[in-house]
Amino acid sequence: MELKRVVVTGLGALTPIGNTVPQFWDSLVKGVSGAAPITRFDASKFKTRFACEVKGFNAEDFMERKEARKVDPFVHYALAATDEAVADASLVFDELDTNRIGVIWGSGIGGLKTFLDEVTNFAAGDGTPRFNPFFIPKMILDIAPGHISMRYGLHGPNFSTVSACASSTHALIDGLNYIRTGHADIIISGGSEAIINEAGIGGFNAMHALSTRNDDPQTASRPFDKDRDGFVAGEGAGAIVLESLEHALARGAKIYAELAGAGMSADAYHITASHPDGLGARLAMGNAIADARLTSDAIDYINVHGTSTPVGDPSEIKAILELFGQHAYELNISSTKSMTGHLLGAAGAVESIASILAVKNDTVPPTINHFTDDPNLDPKLNFTFNKAQQRTINAAMSNTFGFGGHNATVVFKKFEG
């Protein structure tokens, strides 16, 4: 079978540093931090009292109040980002075959706020089971693509991918393959997450996964810095319209970039820690390059997983050095989590948007909050510290790695007809 080429024709983003794609990209290039004290709940007794929250968002701007109450915030975010992506791609569904348009959406945790509220209310009562009839439909992860399909009347493939922080990258990979093999013309893909609540922050605190730099939240996410002390929780959504090249050309769509290849692997090592030698990361990146029919020296930029954890950052860099060899020193590497925080299941989609725009604009967004070199990391590597850099980017790679050892990598390249 000859595989179809897949291109990106629409983008949508709702992030801690911008509620639209233009706002998000502008903040990335300027090196804006989205971290601030938590406003979602009283965090005064928590080890971590800050996060990267979405700001100035009102779900009722995207749906009726009655309907908004029936869905969890992670679905609010999904619908908002998808609205932007659909408009950006100029999709007129009445003129398209909606049987061949699908939605594949990732989330690592889903409706955690809904679950927390319902269980808290039950525990505070007299034991009589009084649960919201929308409890289960609000909580389950697959309800996000369900709502998106119902919003637009899309009858193609529709499901969720769940692989912790790699979830939305896996959603993109599934979208790529459904279009490649001729099972769909368009897939709306992406991911959303909304875990900034008592259970989310408390749970990650219990794992000692979060930064506790409460005195200086804006500089707390500092990937590859010697004094990094954990990731900063983020929330939001990213939506990407994937389309077969022939379908995009036939309707005169603008094309941001080509999704050229993807790779996946498993660490098979630990429930939360990455493989210390970067085994799974190296496999995923190598598989993605091969799938894209490129050589390693064709990659110009890697948007790394780079969570700002003591163990995870060095293992990813070790994998890059082993896979790319001498070419590693020609790469730009950056972690946009230094600005957005870690969006968990939405990270892959949001960071893919950053990678797509890097290719389109020949601009590498920075890794901000670098103060002290880590003596265990090769100083000759270009981590794009603190300031964006201009360079020709013909191909960019985006890495995401999830609890459970799930690794997923996608490669975007400049579109050439």
CA–CA distance from 406 to each of 189, 335, 340 (Å)? 19, 19, 21
Indicate the SS3 state at residue 301: strand
Note the Cα 287 to chain centre separation in Å.
20
Q: Which two tokens stand for residue 361?
A: 């604009």
**111-149 b/e (C-beta count within 10 Å ≥ 16 → b):** bbbbbbbbeeeeeeeeeeeeeeebbebbbbbbbbbbbbb
Indicate the SS3 state at residue 291: helix
Residue 352, amino acid: S
Q: Which two tokens stand for residue 81?
A: 């980002």
User: Using an 8 Å Cβ cutoff, are 221 and 35 in contact?
Assistant: yes
List Cβ neighbours of 203 (8 Å cut-off, separation of 6 or more).
none
Closest CA to 196 of 98, 113, 107: 113
Please give the sequence-ordered ranges of beta strands (E in DSSP) within 70-173, or none if there are none.
Answer: 101-106, 158-161
* 342 in active site: yes
242: left (phi over 0), alpha (psi -120 to 50) or beta: beta
Q: Which of 275, 305, 370, 406 is catalytic?
A: 305
Q: Which of 147, 247, 342, 406 is catalytic?
A: 342
User: Using an 8 Å Cβ cutoff, are 299 and 397 in contact?
Assistant: yes
Note the Cα 41 to chain centre separation in Å.
24
Q: Which of 165, 170, 275, 370 is catalytic?
A: 165
The sign of the CA dihedral 158, 346, 266, 359 is positive
* 370 in active site: no
User: Using an 8 Å Cβ cutoff, are 213 and 51 in contact?
Assistant: no
Q: Which two tokens stand for residue 343?
A: 């969006």
User: What residues are annotated to the active site?
Assistant: 165, 305, 342
